[in-house]
Structure 1
């Protein structure tokens, strides 16, 4: 079979044993980005009432800046450990699974994945399945729930 025909038959998630579409398939990039943006907005909304900078006028004094990382990290850690997803993933119908075993993600894997995601750069380095470095290093994948 020519290489072009072989790559045309291959789909995202095939090497992980996931279906080509529907529940259990790898999440589309747009939905993953939407989930992450929802998590960022929620974290900012949670952090902003606790921030008050005297050097900025009006609403700008309540912009959370880096303080929003605290609720973002808590959202990911607690969400992954208890439910397998963050708030944004829940709202967009996504879930994080282990691809190496049918087990819960576990605290170490959730912590490493969250730390890499907060660093953002690993999330931008993707393989041919469009899984970020944070997913590859923790043997996880984001799927459609």
Structure 2
């Protein structure tokens, strides 16, 4: 076996290489007891990034239009504060932000139900730091979701 086959290419990734080697990884969310497709399945990265972009654009627009005089460093700071507030209030109460609702996503705790406000604060604070959101596990969950014990699923 060629070493390149063992580690995967930069296009296919290590998951495909492991599957070619006969290691059964299952689908994303199988370890969490979630369905493979449809409502309740793990949200795909494209939808997650789209929802994040909508939420950030909404907060940036509000900060630019209402709270600051023109675009400057304070606009970004206000937008981040609005993003944090939006995430805590909406995820902690209804389980989704406006962007997540638009893309058909919601946040659920690992044990089911609705996320409580404390989980929403932790998840949103880690999301604002950005680095935990860039580290994913094999189920596609960001570190911010793992630490807050939440899952972003399709609704």
TM-score (norm 2): 0.81
Q: Residue 71 of structure 1 corresponds to which residue in structure 2?
A: 82
Relative to structure 1, the CA distance from residue 23 to residue 43 in structure 2 (aligned partners, 3 Å threshold; closer, same or farther) is: same
- Structure 2 residue aligned with 1:123, among 120, 133, 153? 133
Q: Residue 56 of structure 1 corresponds to which residue in structure 2?
A: none
Indicate the SS of the match to 1:142. Answer: strand
8 Å Cα contact 2:106-2:152 kept in structure 1: yes
Indicate the SS of the match to 1:14. Answer: coil
Moved over 6 A (4+): none
- Structure 1 residue aligned with 2:27, among 1, 4, 11? 11
Question: Which residues of structure 2 form unaligned runs of 5+?
Answer: 1-19
Question: Which residues of structure 1 form unaligned runs of 5+?
Answer: 53-58
8 Å Cα contact 1:47-1:68 kept in structure 2: yes
Q: Distance in 1 between matches of 2:134 and 2:71?
A: 29
Q: Map residues 56-95 of structure 1 onto 2, 5 A cutoff.
A: 60=71, 64-95=75-106
* RMSD of aligned Cα (Å): 1.8
TM-score (norm 1): 0.86
What's the offset of the Cα at 1:107? Answer: 1.4
- Structure 1 residue aligned with 2:108, among 82, 94, 97? 97
Highest relative contact order (Cα 8 Å, sep 6+), 1 or 2?
A: 1
Q: Distance in 1 between matches of 2:146 and 2:119?
A: 11
- Structure 2 residue aligned with 1:29, among 45, 68, 71? 45
Count of residues in correspondence between the two structures: 135
